[in-house]
Amino acid sequence: MKKLKKYLLFVFIMSVILFVPSKQNVRADTANSYDSNMQTQRYDTYVRVGKDGSYTVTESIGVVFLNPRHGIYRNIPLTGISTGKDKKKSYYYTEFKLISNDSDSNLVVDDESSYVAQLRFGDEDKEVDQGTYSFTYKLTPQYQDTKNDLLYYNIFPSEWKNKIPQNSSFSIQFPKKTDLKSVNFYYGRYGESKYAKDVITLKYDEQKNQIQGTLKKTLPFKNGLTCYSDLGDGYFTERNEIGAGGFIF
């Protein structure tokens, strides 16, 4: 019943997106204001792509608070639109699962809204002036069609309330061979797609099927980093189609 409600809400959200001009869309995960009380010192993201098209992600975020605070929020969008090389748009809903909290901080997860999972780190009885928040979660996208052999992931979120600092790093581990150099990276605000070659350095490890990257420039506030590639038909082992394997009625 819970999954049915999420699916119905997803359909409603997608219908609104279809009939409202894109410039008027208001998304909860991009409506954040700048947090002047917090300074992000480091933001590192490690992504392991699964054979089933899932993403197992470890994030480590180091921050300093100018005034003591209980902790931080991290919002993870669970719905969106991906566009294939044929320009066809594919709407998706993402199943979220928290795997571990490796922080010296309490963590509460709220994903009941169905379009964003909100992670709340901190102790209501304790204030801190800095912290490193490390956690691992799994995302499994459920698409509207079966053409879902796509790599499409927001490595650094555009909804983060600070700049993403220079020297922040990321890695992407693939389950099997693929053309690593065909993976494209884009940055910018929500809806923008600027090639990221001027803001990142990349290293390719063909033996480990891995890409490593580092920010050589600080990403401005509300600018994220996204990776994209069409991995080819049959790269993933499961369909992950909305209404087929993703939801059971």
**pLDDT confidence of residue 49:** 98
Query: Can you give the pTM of this predicted structure?
Result: 0.83
| pLDDT confidence of residue 81 | 77
Structure confidence at residue 113 (pLDDT) = 63
CB 206 within 8 A of CB 179: no
pLDDT of 89: 72
Residue 112: the pLDDT is 60
Token couple for 246: 């993703």
Q: CB under 8 Å to 143, separation ≥6 — which residues?
A: 82, 90, 91, 92, 240, 241, 242
The reported pLDDT for the residue numbered 143 is: 78
pLDDT for res 144: 74
Q: Give the chain's length.
A: 249
d(CA 240, CA 143): 6
Mean pLDDT, the chain cut into blocks of 10 residues (249 residues total) = 47 33 29 87 98 96 97 92 66 91 94 82 94 97 75 94 97 97 95 92 98 97 95 84 42
